[in-house]
Structure 1
Amino acid sequence: MSGLSQLAHVSPLRPLRDWWAERPPAAGAAVMASGIVSVGLNLAGYEVASRVALGLACASWVGLAADFVARWVWQRERWRQEAMTPGSLTAVAATAVLGTRISALGWNTLAAALLTLAAALWPVLLVGVVRHWQRRMSGAVFLCCVATQGLVVLGAALAAAEAAAWLAHTALVLFWLGLVLYGFALARFDPRQVVEGAGDHWVAGGALAISALAGSKLVAADSARLYLWSGDDRAVLRTVTVALVVLDLTWYAVLLAAEAVRPRLGYDVRRWATVFPMGMTAAAMLSVAAALGIPGLKGPGQVLLWIAVAAWLAVAAGAVAAARANLRSTAQR
């Protein structure tokens, strides 16, 4: 009887445990989406809403980090296989985006710890992912650029806060590397994903958006105290950053038009990888407007921010509905 009682006691948790164990590495895009929406709301001045989004991002990050470690300890073979997929790089990107928002709160010690963690994971995961690249891949292939530029954004933010010139210069090297990786990823991206993709095809534009955000953070990191860039360096950074914004907005328009032509309304976990580029485009425009002195970008950036918030709410509702359905299905097995 004691065994039956114990089974009855733990059985209600089993569906939740089984459902969580089946979550793919790409689920990290949910943290990325919540984190960048928080960053965008902070840049637009909506601090309360920004902290709510940050709290959700932190809670999701803790859960996914625990799952990441658990798989590494107890399911090493599964961990290795998943580490070779582009979705694994969401671990780096999500950690960097979360650290960027935390740095804006002035919690630089915690942000530096997150940067250290992301930087340690980055080469391990990036090498494994790139070695297994194929032709005609989904938009997840651009996560190599997103993860790299995520380190740049956080590194530049901390360099400005801590007056660490070496960190800014390291971030600049990674900035150019991220753009090179984007070129390689673009060559392997399947263009048909624009009209057939389940959501992560938006990362094709999101990678350019985070690159633009990285460029604006590098420009903003310069000061009389640091004197990071010469006049020519600053001019190049400014030109490239503006070009990245233009290219990102072009991608945004193309992807939005493709959604209108071929609507994909059903929920898919990869839809978080749609919200992230939307939020990142808004955050990039707001950041570029402030760092480069282009006030004309502020208004459109705020409009795109609220579109991203609406998309976040829609995908969150879909995720809750899908989770409930999966839990019921698991409980009936």
Structure 2
Amino acid sequence: MPATTTPTSPLHTWWSQRPPAAGAAVMATGIISVALHQTGYETLSRIALALASAAWLVLGGDFTARLLRDRPSWVEEAATPAALTAIAATTVLGTRFAALGWETLAEALLALAAVLWPALLLAVARHWRRGMPGSVFLGCVATQGLAVLGATLAATEKAAWLAHAALALFWLGLVLYVIALACFDRREIAHGAGDHWVAGGALAISALAGSKLLAADGPGLYLWNRDDEGVLRTVTVAVLVLDLAWYAVLLLAECAWPRPRYDVRRWATVFPMGMTSAATLSVASAADIAWLETPGEVLLWVAVAAWLAVTAGAVRSYTGGTAPEGPGDPGTDITSTTRR
């Protein structure tokens, strides 16, 4: 008898071709929810959180299905930088849930991310080399995501050990950033399809982690002495300044070399934009630099506008409004190293 094939829906086909972009989409939507909460737009924040949570559940289902049905392919994909978006997305959602007071759920997400992190990071790091796209910075992003969520929960749970673990991850994340920077292909600034923005986003989440560590100190914990706090504050502010510098460079590059065509890797542009806003707002509070609140909110609405534009592009791509991307097109994968 001839083999029968299982029919698949257009949505399933579209999703199965874009798991890396799905992870970046959760990261982008989740951090915009965090920034909207920081600025008091709670209703919009919860809508964004609901969207990010739904996408995370679908992403988790796809992750599990691939593991059970096609383990060799799953292992191969786990060695790509895209795998680290699962960790980053999980920690971003956990941070937002912690802000809602849902500590148990946030702790479960932290535990899940912490279990996946070492194996995935080691598998990905073995393939680092010179000439990598912006996805090489996801090692730093995933590590700092754990630091952000750990420091957030340390403050709410009064757990000093968790704060110290988060501090170790913070410093490790900065080391991973330096390594990634050495591997990053600078030509991506002019010709990257979107994920080159993670070069700045990794610094943004590092600044956010530093601000959360500063905020975790207080009555009942006494985490850092005056010298330690001074060093942490100086490094956090310096990292934020470097992030803002990257933001300016990348924005100018977008103007100098316009890339208006929709690409799934543009979700990896929205995430750094939203993360820069969240980091600026958080540093403003933790480091007592009140004037940063205004630029932080301005950056938030820039990120929201970018999110809407990329969402519109994704909808047009799904409904057939744009040309489909073939397997060889660099737009199909956030981890692609193919040059245009």
TM-score range, shorter chain: over 0.9
Unpaired stretches in structure 2, ≥5 consecutive residues:
326-340
2:219 aligned residue (221, 224, 230): 224
1:186 aligns with 2:205: no
* Percent identity of equivalent pairs: 67
Q: Tell me what 1:200 maps to.
A: 195
**1:212-246 Cα deviation digits (max 9, x unpaired):** 00000000000121000010110001000000110
AA aligned to 2:97 is I
CA contact (8 A) 2:316 2:322 kept: no
Aligned partner of 1:148 among 135, 143, 147: 143
The within-5 A match list for 1:74-153 is 74-153=69-148
Provide the residue aligned with 2:238 in structure 1: 243
Pairing of 1:2-17 with structure 2 (within 5 A): 11=7, 13-17=8-12
Deviations, residues 82-123 of structure 1 (Å, cap 9, x unaligned): 111111100000000000000000000000000000111111
- The 2-side partners of 1:20 and 1:281 are apart by 28
Task: Report the CA distance between 1:327 and its aligned residue.
Answer: 11
Aligned counterpart in structure 2 of residue 306 of structure 1, from 301, 319, 324: 301
Shift in CA distance, 172/148, structure 1 to aligned 2, threshold 3 Å? same
- For 1:202, give the aligned amino acid: W
Q: Which residue, out of 25, 37, 50, partners 2:20?
A: 25
SS in 2 for 1:204: helix
C-alpha distance in 1 between matches for 2:147 and 2:303? 23
Q: Distance in 1 between matches of 2:11 and 2:237?
A: 46
Alignment match of 1:172 (pick from 137, 153, 167)? 167
Q: Distance in 2 between the 1:213 and 1:136 partners?
A: 28
Asked if the contact 1:285–1:301 (Cα under 8 Å) also holds between the matched residues in 2, the reply is yes
TM-score, normalised on structure 1? 0.94
Matched residue, 1:4? none
Task: Structure 1: state its 5+ residue gaps.
Answer: 1-6
Q: 1:328 to 1:262 in 2, by over 3 A?
A: closer
Q: 1:327 to 1:198 in 2, by over 3 A?
A: closer
CA contact (8 A) 1:209 1:277 kept: yes
Q: Which residue of 1 aligns with 2:207?
A: 212
2:49 matched to 1:51? Answer: no
Instruction: Supply the distance in 1 between the matched residues of 2:321 and 2:247 (Cα, whole angstroms).
Output: 32
- Structure showing the higher helix proportion among its residues: 1
| CA distances 1:242-269 after superposition (whole Å, capped 9, x unpaired) | 0011000000000000000011111111
Distance in 2, matches of 1:329 and 1:138, equals 22
Q: Distance in 1 between matches of 2:228 and 2:320?
A: 54
Give 1:55 shift: 0.5
Amino acid at match of 1:40: A
Aligned to 1:274: 269
What aligned pairs does 1:286-301 form with structure 2 within 5 A after superposition? 286-301=281-296
Q: Hey, what's the Cα distance between the residues in 2 that align with 1:325 and 1:192?
A: 31
Asked if the contact 2:150–2:162 (Cα under 8 Å) also holds between the matched residues in 1, the reply is yes
Q: TM-score, structure 2 length as denominator? A: 0.92
1:262/1:231 CA distance change after superposition, 3 Å: same
Partner of 1:157: 152
Q: Flag the 1:289–1:328 CA change in 2: closer, same or farther, 3 A.
A: closer
Aligned equivalents of 1:99 and 1:194: distance in 2? 31
**Secondary structure in 1 matching 2:9:** helix
Query: RMSD between aligned alpha carbons?
Result: 1.7
Give 1:40's aligned residue. Answer: 35
Aligned residues: 322
Contact 2:28–2:268, Cα closer than 8 Å, also in 1: yes
Aligned partner of 2:64 in structure 1 is: 69
Aligned 8 A contact 2:81 2:135 in 1? yes
Residue from 247, 256, 276 that aligns with 2:251:
256
- Taking a change above 3 Å as real, the CA distance of residues 328 and 201 of structure 1, as seen in their structure-2 partners, is closer
Change (3 A) 1:329 1:174: closer
